[in-house]
Amino acid sequence: MENLIGSRIKTFRERLDMSQAELATSSGIDAALIAAIEEGKVTPVLGIMVKISRSLGQRLGTFMDDQVSEDPHIVRYADRRQDLAHHKENAEQYSYYPLAAGKTDRHMEPFFVEIAPGQTKQFSSHEGEEFIIVIAGQIELTYGKKTCLLTAGDSMYYNSIVPHHVGCVGDTTAQLYAVIYMPY
């Protein structure tokens, strides 16, 4: 399997004449983890990718895009591929399918997400905004100190700087569409 994400991180880091230690300091990520990602030994989780992309001054999709495409950019259902995990401890519970891979000039990150039951509650916080719409199952969104239950057809839009957790409720895998916007 080709190490596209790791090699792209290394390329952008080197363009900035930044060492792995400097990237570790600016992103708050352990230097050993950055080395493992660049070497293709570790697939980074979404939260780590957000921190790395911000530290390198790039949008998240820069590290996941396969090619440049013209408008309109279409991703066929049959061509979706799973990419990234949300939290290392819950990697098997969260499946992310990027819906705009290859669209290099985008400002949003759209995903189809499946969340299996049984995940550990871990909060995420980053600059930007998120929009989610549940299409199957039940989702619990904890946003700061507030908790909301969402079912199929429900949506929520929120400022993602506030610590938040999106998790599956019940014993059925939940499905949702999510759009993340992060200024860079």
Domains along the sequence of the chain with CATH = 4-63 (1.10.260.40), 77-181 (2.60.120.10)
Which pLDDT value is given to residue 86? 47
Which pLDDT value is given to residue 83? 67
180: part of which helix (H) or strand (E)? strand 174-181
Evaluate the CA torsion angle 44, 82, 16, 130 in order and state its sign: negative
Per-residue pLDDT of the chain (184 residues; tens, 9 = 90+): 457 788 889 988 998 899 999 999 999 999 999 999 999 888 787 778 888 988 988 877 777 665 555 667 777 778 777 665 444 444 568 888 888 877 776 778 899 999 999 878 888 888 889 999 999 999 999 999 999 999 999 999 999 889 999 999 999 999 999 999 877 6
